Amino acid sequence: MRASTPTEPMTQRHVLVCPNRTCLNQGAIAVLTAFQAQPVSGYVVQKTGCMGQCGEGPMVRILPDDIWYCQVRPDEVTDVVERHLRGGRPVRAMLSPHFHAAPGH
Ligand code: FES
């Protein structure tokens, strides 16, 4: 008997939002809410544990791309949704410099 799970087990992607202490104080819930308000097929928006980047938040990580965004504001979420999640091109200006070297550096 088959389990009653979605039929696309290998294509699910994730938007991980850190809602823990420091990110919480920096507005993570508003960022989480903004992502949840703009659902994208194939992506699941999830809270995650501390990403070890406290003070750089709110932190958002996109998997499996392994793209890290830092200091995300709610008004920037639409850019991530449209350009990255729908368009497949990460928003360079928002990338965390701890994980992604700045262009030209
Ligand atoms: S609290 Fe968000 S990275 Fe640590």
pLDDT in tens, 80-94: 999 999 999 999 999
Beta strands at 43-47 and 60-63: parallel, antiparallel or unpaired: unpaired
What single letter denotes the amino acid at residue 78?
Answer: T
**Atom of ligand 1 at shortest distance to CA of 21?**
1
With a threshold of 0.85, does the pTM exceed it?
A: yes
Pocket test for ligand 1, best of 17, 23, 26, 70 (most atoms within 8 A of CB): 23
The residues lining ligand 1, judged by C-beta closer than 6 Å to any ligand atom, are: 18, 20-23, 50-54, 57, 59
The residue extents of the domains of the chain are 13-94
Share of the chain above pLDDT 90, in %: 84
pLDDT tens column, 20-71? 999 999 999 999 999 999 999 999 999 999 999 999 999 999 999 999 999 9
Out of 18, 47, 69, 71, give the residue to mutate to test ligand 1, the one with the largest number of ligand atoms within 8 Å of its CB: 18
CATH fold group of domain 13-94: Glutaredoxin (3.40.30)
